[in-house]
Amino acid sequence: MDDTTPDHKIDITNDVCPMTFVRTRLKLETMTRGQILEVTLGAGEPLKNVPRSVTEMGDTVIDIVELANAPETYRLTIRKG
């Protein structure tokens, strides 16, 4: 197990802004500092807004990877700040 193994996962691909960020924020608020959240999200506004917003709130974006089996779908990995 490396230190980017997610402690929690959420899928917000069916949500639209601002609910994409709201659901991500609510999940992060239940977590402890240093835990990892894996978020599955769609392209467009969520991909642009969620990483920016979590960074502004003091969390760290570890990576963003497009899923090979689901075009226009991404995995965002966040470390709770």
Tell me if 40 is assigned to some domain: yes
Q: What is the pTM of this model?
A: 0.94
The whole-chain average pLDDT of the chain stands at: 95
**2, part of any domain:** no
In a domain, 21, yes or no: yes
Is 1 inside any structural domain?
no
Q: Considering the domain boundaries, does residue 74 fall inside one?
A: yes
Res 4: pLDDT: 83
CATH code assigned at 64: 3.30.110.40
The catalytic site residues sit at 17
Give how many domains the chain has, as a whole number. 1
pLDDT of residue 2: 64
In a domain, 12, yes or no: yes
- Residue span of the structural domain in which 61 resides: 8-79
pLDDT in tens, 7-22: 999 999 999 989 999 9
Coil/strand/helix, residue 70: coil
SS3 content of the chain, % helix, strand, coil (to 5): 30, 30, 40
Look at residue 23 and tell me whether its pLDDT is greater than 70: yes
Q: Quote the tokens at residue 67.
A: 């899923």
